[in-house]
Amino acid sequence: MNPKIKWLREKMRGLDMQGMIVSNPINIRYLTGINAEGVLLITRKENHYITDSRYIEDVHSTVTIDDEIIISNFTDISPYDYENFFSFCENVGFEENYITYAQYKNYMQRYKVNNFEETENMIEKQRMVKDEEEIAKIQKACELTDACFEHLQKFIKIGMTEKEIAYEIESYFLRNGADGLAFETIVASGKNSSKPHAITTEKTIEKGDPITIDFGCKYQGYCSDMTRTIFAGYVPDRMKPIYDLVLKDQLQTLEDMKEGAIIRNLSRNVENDFKLYGHNLIHSLGHGVGLDIHEIPYISGKNDNVLKENMVVTDEPGIYLPGEFGIRIEDTVLITKTGCINLTKSDKNYIIVDN
Amino acid sequence: MNPKIKWLREKMRGLDMQGMIVSNPINIRYLTGINAEGVLLITRKENHYITDSRYIEDVHSTVTIDDEIIISNFTDISPYDYENFFSFCENVGFEENYITYAQYKNYMQRYKVNNFEETENMIEKQRMVKDEEEIAKIQKACELTDACFEHLQKFIKIGMTEKEIAYEIESYFLRNGADGLAFETIVASGKNSSKPHAITTEKTIEKGDPITIDFGCKYQGYCSDMTRTIFAGYVPDRMKPIYDLVLKDQLQTLEDMKEGAIIRNLSRNVENDFKLYGHNLIHSLGHGVGLDIHEIPYISGKNDNVLKENMVVTDEPGIYLPGEFGIRIEDTVLITKTGCINLTKSDKNYIIVDN
């Protein structure tokens, strides 16, 4: 059987769970490789994936005999079949953080299960620590991101719009073998950079603008995430101290990230250092990266957990001066026993384009 | 008080509901104009909107005193406040089709409500019939879509990629006053057009390609949706009968759409006509359009309801020959007492670009 489903079955056994309904398509992709819309039923004796005619051909071509997954079109499943999937199952898990209350009620009626049990992000927690194959895919996504950034430094000219730059990023990724974007690219120049979650606009790049570019691609489903704030023509003097402070704390966090590091402290160190200079860290210092662009663990001052080997997380401090400008610097990072490996390797010194 | 909240309160009174938690941001935008992340609480005596620091400034500038909505930052709301919002409320409605099971449980704990009641898409149902102001916004979005299509007929050249055309569409909308795209543009050429939900790729347009362009914009939150299948250089003879059949049924549906028309029959008429020629209608014939790009009512063979005056729906039959090509033609349509008004007015005869 597929080793990830095997893991899930062992986990379920430990929780006295005889069945589980997996509905989150990212979790299904993690377990099976299937990239579609449907539901995965882990029953006492079988693994069933139920989808519809749009996906069935593609799903059949993804799954191998070794996976031991029975694939069906939902139109071929009768109410009687649904009632029987979990016969002799006392406790059946479901994903309470993914399905709506209405779907939950629908599951109750459809599957006639004795006891539905919450699974508390069981699969998401397992996804935090990546295996070799997953790391290789994230690494490839990060390499494409570095290469794209190299290309951008020649491409970006004063007078271009933010949107033009964002289009070029998407186009570069597609031309170079990525599945597509990991998330909607942010290109925020001048005053727009002062918003942490800026929207890319038709504003043109002007001389002296900082340009925050937050971007990443997917490679075989796995994401990369990198931010650089670069400058058009020259680096205005008033921006240098802010840039230097953000970079200092970004580098210090890289120093501190390793197996066993207490996540809360990583964030608090940056928060405290920013405060010394009269600034605040107004968003999380980072987040997990994998099949989802934002995964657990969140690197925040409220997270009491520790980093583990083979987690992949971002390190992205930022300072935002409303109505003026903002600076954010972000890498995607692989945690190791003794430190971390920065997977996005682009330069973080002052970068000036079109000078 | 805001007339839409007034409507909601009357509706709630009829259902013996003394309070309601509105969580779906589109429903909140419909009721209040607020475009943010947060929750709207309709309590016995007050209307509360609770959001976070990212949105609070913007929300204050959206809401007027006449709306009678109390705006708070969630950091200022204590557990005690939460428990008291619905004191003396016997039944409190919630959106079972929007919130997850885990959120439902969280609401249960937080609000200490006696009886949570499902609201069965109460607000979504009201949203089906548009008022004058809403219709004017959809009309404007449709006008921009027609103008964009006019522009595209000159813009598209053989050798361009599908992505380049999609970028031009987004850029056109932004240059001309739209909020942005109503949904991710589909530009599917040649064989790619044979997939009903094609992804826009880096494929270049070749002579003789059909190009299915499914696109729309948002204007002040309201969507447009139009599809045309056009041809690069010339119309291949083998595609003409399929095009003619799709167009015939698209026009016949426009004839049939009016207040009182049974939705099921609209779809079945097309299904049956397609079958006469050996084809199938493999997706819904249409859907409602408003603040969401896909809203109820769905124009499908399973919908027993009737069309009503001032509903806005699409009419979009399509035929797809796997591995060969596909044709889809779609308009956004306003239902009237005696017929319908086609809001997207672009030409539907054979359109040849770069000839």
Candidates A97, A100, A204, A280, partner chain B, best to mutate (most B CBs within 10 A)? A100
Is the separation of the CB atoms in B163 and B212 below 8 Å?
A: no
Buried b (16+ CB within 10 A) or exposed e, A148-186: bbeebeebbeeebbbbbbbbbbbbbbbeeebbebbeebb
Q: How far apart are alpha carbons A266 and A285 in whole angstroms?
A: 8
* pLDDT for A73 beyond 90: yes
Higher-confidence residue: A57 or A25? A25
* pLDDT for B2 beyond 90: no
Query: How confident is the prediction for chain B on average, in pLDDT?
Result: 96
Model confidence at A192, in pLDDT bands (50, 70, 90)? Answer: very high
Q: Point out the residue among B96, B163, B170 whose CB comes nearest to the CB of A171.
A: B163
pLDDT at B240: 98
Is the separation of the CB atoms in A213 and A167 below 8 Å?
A: no
Quote the DSSP letter at residue B199. Answer: P
Q: What residue type is assigned to position A260 of the chain?
A: G
Q: How far apart are alpha carbons A270 and B290 in whole angstroms?
A: 44
Is the separation of the CB atoms in B232 and B211 below 8 Å?
A: yes
Q: Which residues of A touch B (CB under 8 A)?
A: 53-54, 94, 96-105, 118, 163, 167, 170-171, 174-175, 197, 201-202
Which residues have CB under 8 Å from A323's CB, separation 6+? Answer: A191, A194
Residue A14, burial from CB neighbour count under 10 angstroms (0-12, 13-18, 19+): exposed
Q: pLDDT tens, B172-213? A: 998 899 999 999 999 999 999 998 888 898 899 999 999 999
Which residues of chain A does B104 touch, with a Cβ-Cβ cutoff of 8 Å? 101, 104
Check A53 against B167: CB less than 8 A apart: no
Which residues of chain B does A99 touch, with a Cβ-Cβ cutoff of 8 Å? 100-101
Model confidence at A355, in pLDDT bands (50, 70, 90)? Answer: confident
What does the block give as tokens for B110? 């937080």
Q: How far apart are alpha carbons A164 and B168 in whole angstroms?
A: 10
C-alpha distances (whole Å) from B301 to each of B262, B272, B289, B326 are 10, 11, 18, 22
Q: Point out the residue among A97, A101, A167 whose CB comes nearest to the CB of B96.
A: A101
Q: Are strands A91-94 and A115-118 parallel, antiparallel or unpaired?
A: parallel
Q: Point out the residue among B96, B171, B282 whose CB comes nearest to the CB of A100.
A: B96
* Mean of pLDDT values over A326-334: 98
| Closest Cα in chain B, distance from residue A96 (Å) | 5
Which residues of chain B does A101 touch, with a Cβ-Cβ cutoff of 8 Å? 94, 96-97, 99-101, 103-104, 118
Instruction: Name the residue with tokens 């931010």.
Output: A227
Lowest mean pLDDT among A155-169, A258-272, B189-203: B189-203
pLDDT at A198: 85
Quote the DSSP letter at residue B3. Answer: H
Is the separation of the CB atoms in B211 and B203 below 8 Å?
A: no
Q: pLDDT tens, B238-256? A: 999 999 999 999 999 999 9
Check A171 against B201: CB less than 8 A apart: no
3-state secondary structure labels for all residues of B142-195 = HHHHHHHHHHHHHHCCCCCEHHHHHHHHHHHHHHCCCCEECCCCEEEEHHHHHC
pLDDT at A56: 87
| Closest Cα in chain A, distance from residue B171 (Å) | 8
3-state secondary structure of A168: helix
3-state secondary structure of A297: strand
Percent of chain A past pLDDT 90, that is, above it, reads 92
| Closest Cα in chain A, distance from residue B201 (Å) | 8
* pLDDT for B55 beyond 90: no
Complex prediction ipTM: 0.87
Which residues of chain A does B202 touch, with a Cβ-Cβ cutoff of 8 Å? 171, 174-175
Is the separation of the CB atoms in B331 and B252 below 8 Å?
A: no
Which residues of chain B does A103 touch, with a Cβ-Cβ cutoff of 8 Å? 101
Q: How far apart are alpha carbons A121 and B101 in whole angstroms?
A: 13
* Mean of pLDDT values over A165-176: 92
